[in-house]
Amino acid sequence: MYELFIPTNPCFGGILTHCNHQDSADIAFDVDEPGGGTQRFYAHRLILRMSAPSLAEYCDGVAASSDFVDALLVVPVSNVRHAVFHHLLYYVYGGIIAAEVLKELSRDIIEVADRFGLGHLKVLAEGYYVESTTINVGNLFEIYHFSDTKKCALLKETVMNFILDNVTKVLHLFHGVDGSQSESMITDLLTALAKSRAIGGLDGFFKTMSVVNLRKKLDERGLDVDGTYEMLVDSLERSYPCFIVEGAGSACVNGRYIAAANAYHLLGKMSKEEGVDVQLRVCTNGWGISWPEKILYRVRSTESQGPPSNGWKTETKHGAVDSPPFVTTKFLGKKI
């Protein structure tokens, strides 16, 4: 019997070979370095639209008021190191940037990725910046300001953790800090303190998670992993449904149900937010509302992503009051 051979898909490698390929390009970036000197880089509008839509929009803005030169749209880019722009473009075309490069150029890459809206590259570089940077009493305010300006949630979390671990060393430093920055830092510090002590009910579950864990969950759901801590939490909350049960004859059943804190990756078992221990969960051939283990109401359904609104039946043998419920889907991040 022959061993099955699965050849490598040449798609990504083929795209990468067209990075900075002059003959096929329809866009040219003229990049000026901070210290002077211009270098041209070539790109393709289609690739930018797929992999770097914000950079493509930047080019579209230039195109609206520019002339084409030899069928090329020439896009000026100021104040960017040539090496950094090269790696940014290489990443856009599917290239893997070496770890040593990411460590050496991490801060510059964060700056440029933030400027052109490449959130995944920015988050990648931020991780290496955190890993290779030692925070101390002398640099924490400058690093905090950078993290705040560039919306680097992991870097800011690292600064806050340093402060929490070294309160007696840094407390006196706040006296000489600008009022607005000091107020911002105190707010972030209180958030970090609350998170470290896992303060929050079911609605606050995501607010107790680290930046890395938030980003992992967002990435699993195909959502943007870039932004402030508050942006990450809000985005994740809005992606998870909760369910409102109304009209049930058994009043204890009515209310809002969200996934248990230890099972937030599931939609198969949800608990009522307040009151008695009632659960909305997947059961045989559908969904059921149980208290505590006996099913009060049941509905037949093949849908695993959430219960249907109508069609619930009363399980009278378990003592549920007649008048089955109506179920509405909501999202945690939206007020109801």
Which of the pair, 153 or 260, is modelled with greater confidence?
Answer: 153
Of 123, 105, 332, 143, the closest CA to residue 228 belongs to 123
Sheet holding 255-259, edge to edge: 313-314, 295-300, 286-290, 279-283, 269-272, 255-259, 241-246, 326-331
User: What's the whole-number mean pLDDT along residues 226-238?
Assistant: 89
Q: What is the enclosing helix (H) or strand (E) of 183?
A: helix 179-196
Using the predicted structure, report yes or no on whether residue 215 has a pLDDT greater than 50. yes
Rounded to whole angstroms, how far apart are CA atoms 67 and 73?
A: 7
Q: Which fold has domain 11-126?
A: Potassium Channel Kv1.1; Chain A (3.30.710)
Say what percent of the chain tops pLDDT 70.
Answer: 83
Give the predicted TM-score (pTM) of the model: 0.75
Rounded to whole angstroms, how far apart are CA atoms 61 and 76?
A: 12
Using the predicted structure, report yes or no on whether residue 325 has a pLDDT greater than 50. yes
Residues 239-248 as b or e (16 or more Cβ within 10 Å = b): bbbbbebeeb
Q: What is the pLDDT of residues 46-105, one digit of tens each?
A: 999 999 999 999 999 888 766 555 678 999 999 999 999 999 999 999 999 999 999 999
Using the predicted structure, report yes or no on whether residue 203 has a pLDDT greater than 60. no
Rounded to whole angstroms, how far apart are CA atoms 108 and 129?
A: 10
Of 289, 283, 282, the closest CA to residue 255 belongs to 289
| Domain residue limits, the chain | 11-126, 133-236, 241-331
